[in-house]
Amino acid sequence: MDMDHVASNGLVLLGCGKMGSAMLAGWLKQGLPSGSVWVIDPNPSDWLQSTGVHINADLPNTPAVVLIAVKPQMMGAALPTLAAMGNGETVFVSVAAGTPIAQFEKVLGAQTPIVRAMPNTPAAIGRGITAIIGNTHVSDAALDLAEALLAAVGQVVRLESETQMDAVTGLSGSGPAYVFHLIETLAAAGQAQGLSADLAMQLAKATVAGAGALAEAATEDPAQLRVNVTSPNGTTQAALEVLMDETNGFPALLKRAVKAATDRSKELANG
């Protein structure tokens, strides 16, 4: 089961908002024929209409993949229309936050191959990271296919169990917002030390983006990179003594933040 299988049997994309559009753009760029893609979306964008894909048209009976990219609250109306494709060869892949595999099995049928995925917002520029887990009916080949489709918007990792999805939500799913807030507060702190607002923001954005890129590219781990730029009794050490404080610094703060998001994810999944 590969992209040729998708090209010949078809792919149905349910929902084409930011995430759906980013994935579709990636697939078309990789050479998936637009005629092999059916999109169901109540408000198709001008861009979508320019791609040549089938929009709100009659669907193939047994597409290779149905990729669900609608908001969870829209799922109730949209999913039952696809139930006829359940319990068969069609692989369902969901990027809808907080919707457990069991919920899909209830609507689509218990024998349906279902892959649950948690991407994050940098997927919009092809720099996302997505965690995936399949139910027992997902073959290795189907999981490989789901990974290949989601790789269009960034890195993909596989989980050992669906219970890990709440922690993934707390770390990488919600995590971009933590970094955006870091940029905001870093810029504000620079302004407090006498820099103009525009200059402080430019420095903060470039610093966080550059350090992130360096952390990904470097062979050393982030702890070593930190040590490399920390001169004894220098300016970086003075700041790190504040940030690394076990009670009030990053270690305690981020542990609490990720736990709060993880706990909320569990609550939402349990209705």
| 259 belongs to an annotated ligand binding site | no
Cα separation, 127 vs 154, whole angstroms: 5
d(CA 45, CA 21): 9
pLDDT per residue as tens digits for the range 187-240: 999 999 999 999 999 999 999 999 999 999 999 999 999 999 999 999 999 999
Q: Is the pLDDT of residue 268 over 90?
A: no
For a pLDDT cut of 70, what percent of the chain falls above it?
A: 99
What's the pLDDT score for residue 220?
98
| Separation between Cα atoms, residue 271 and residue 268, nearest integer Å | 5
* Contact of 34 with 49, CB cutoff 8 Å: no
Mean pLDDT computed over 251-269:
94
pLDDT (0 to 100) of residue 97: 86
DSSP assigned state of 170: I
In angstroms and rounded to an integer, the radius of gyration of the C-alpha atoms of the chain is 22
Report CA torsion sign: 74, 75, 78, 80. negative
Q: What is the mean pLDDT of residues 148-152?
A: 96
Looking at the chain, the whole-number percentage of residues with pLDDT higher than 90 is 89
Q: Is 37 annotated as a binding residue?
A: no
Residue 271's pLDDT is what? 66
Measuring CA to CA, which residue among 61, 63, 17 is closest to residue 41?
17
Burial of 125 (0-12, 13-18, 19+ CB in 10 A): exposed
pLDDT above 80 for 2: no
Whether residue 56 is annotated as binding a ligand: the answer is yes
74 is in an annotated binding site: no
pLDDT in tens, 52-104: 999 999 999 999 999 999 987 788 788 888 999 999 999 999 999 888 999 99
Q: Is 70 annotated as a binding residue?
A: yes
Edge-to-edge strands of the sheet including 154-158? 54-55, 37-40, 11-14, 65-68, 91-94, 114-118, 128-134, 154-158
- In degrees and rounded to multiples of 5, residue 38 shows phi and psi of -115, 125
* 69 annotated binding-site participant: yes
| DSSP per-residue codes, 95-141 | --TT--HHHHHHHH-TT--EEEEE--GGGGGT-EEEEEEE-TT--HH
CA atoms within a 13 Å half-sphere pointing along the CA-CB vector of 169: 24
DSSP 3-state of 155: strand
Q: Would you say 148 is a known binding-site residue? A: no
Which structural domains are found in the chain, ordered by start? 3-165 (3.40.50.720), 173-269 (1.10.3730.10)
Element (H, E) at 270: none
What whole-number distance in Å separates Cα of residue 259 and Cα of residue 75?
A: 27
Per-residue model confidence (pLDDT) at position 216 = 95
pLDDT band for position 24 (cuts 50, 70, 90) = very high
The pLDDT value given to residue 71:
83
Q: What is the pTM of this model?
A: 0.93
Is residue 14 part of an annotated ligand binding site? yes
Q: What is the mean pLDDT of residues 19-31?
A: 94
